[in-house]
Amino acid sequence: MTRGTVAAIAALAIVALFAGCARPAPERPAPAVRPPPPSTTPHTGGKGRTRAANALKVGPAVARDLPRVYVPNRASGYVSVIDPRSLRVVDRFTVGASPQHVVPSWDLRTLWVTSNGAGPADGSVTPIDPRTGKHGRAIPVDDPYNMYFTPDGKSAIVVAEARARLDFRDPHTMRLQGTLGVPLCAGINHGDYSGDMRYAIFTCEFNGWLAKVDPVHRKVLGYLKLSKGGMPQDIRVGPSGRTFYVADMHADGVFIIDGEHFKEVGFIPTGVAAHGLYPSRDGTKLYVSNRGTHSLHGAPNSPFGRVSVIDFSTRRVVARWPIPGGGSPDMGNVSADGRLLWLTGRFDGVVYAIDTRTGAVRKVRVGAEPHGLTVWPQPGRYSLGHTGIPRS
């Protein structure tokens, strides 16, 4: 494969993820630098599709998987399984203590439940077969709060939050390959890659910093202290592939970060306790879940719990969707067709299915303290981790 062909594939990948952003805007399409996946991947569907098709369709690798929403209930210790068509819980199964996230694997063939246990040494990850919805035996893993993958799919990156460390593991067996200490990042937990995959930025929840990391060469590239707030949560790269958006629970909004120069360049107020970030499937909007309380253990039915919608092109909030009766929208993802935003209600024991056209909310009762749910199937040729960061 020539260098020019490789660059073209990388450009197509970021354009497919954020379709519809070609109009004049602060965010411009990312330049092609290097390819994310190796040429041996069997999931090759993105190249000939239109932008709209890439945003809405799932690939052949997942087309026969069960449509389900998998919800880890941290305090209950089990996963609730929702049929998105009937909005009913159709299954539940026990996993390791304190399940935090359900993470699609790089090759889209396993969903990993990350459970960081009563203590870091009690952690485990439990595989789910998305074709059948059945879970396998838990694998002991040290402090797996969250999980990501290297761009080539050769390593799972277990985010060991309590250890201030990224652990590189075999993506199938979870055998340890190596570690990267990130000592100035207290509470490292969420991350995302630049569009060219040269680096990733992780949030440091407990000291208000960000860490810039080269996962391929396993190096820390630098740290950045945010100007206010002090409890950064989710982070997502924007359509340019160079600009990152960081939700901060104490700042009540979203920081804008120039990833290349690693500096803060803006801030968007969104609401009380900005927490999760989810791009719309057409790439024009960013959904922000505002959890409604600055407390890590909040009360139910917060009147401040809501979703804010940011327009990527203007970097302004264009809609606010309250949770009827109050709530605590936390983490989740968008359905493959883009019509529903699925979020957990962290302190309300429910899942919200939010219509992305109207903001109308439907609720499904689940266990105690639901956290990082995933919606399945999802579009894309491979996953970079968390509750689903697809690339084509």
267: domain CATH number? 2.130.10.10
Q: Which two tokens stand for residue 309?
A: 């919608």
pTM above 0.75, yes or no: yes
**What gap in Å lies between CA 187 and CA 164, rounded to an integer?**
6
Question: What pLDDT score does 49 carry?
Answer: 29
Beta bridge partners of 278: 287
**What gap in Å lies between CA 6 and CA 210, rounded to an integer?**
30
pLDDT tens digits in sequence order for the chain, 392 residues long: 333 333 333 433 443 444 333 333 455 544 433 444 433 222 222 332 223 334 457 899 999 999 999 999 999 999 999 999 999 999 999 999 999 999 999 999 999 999 999 877 789 999 999 999 999 999 999 999 999 999 999 999 999 999 999 999 999 999 999 999 999 999 999 999 999 999 999 999 999 999 999 999 999 999 999 999 899 999 999 999 999 999 999 999 999 999 999 999 999 999 999 999 999 999 999 999 999 999 999 999 999 999 999 999 999 999 999 999 999 999 999 999 999 999 999 999 999 999 999 999 999 999 999 999 999 999 999 999 999 999 98
* Kind of pairing between the strands at 340-345 and 329-334: antiparallel
Contact 146, 386 (CB under 8 A): yes
Nearest to 148 by CA among 195, 101, 209: 101
Q: Which residue range forms the structural domain that includes residue 332?
A: 3-391
Alpha carbon 18 to its chain centroid, in Å, reads 15
**What gap in Å lies between CA 259 and CA 243, rounded to an integer?**
6
Q: How many Cα atoms within 13 Å fall on the side-chain side of residue 244?
A: 31
Count of domains forming the chain = 1
Q: Which two tokens stand for residue 190?
A: 């969420």
What is the chain's alpha carbon radius of gyration, rounded to the nearest angstrom? 19
CB burial of residue 27 (10 Å; 0-12, 13-18, 19+): middle
In the block, tokens 């485990």 appear at 124
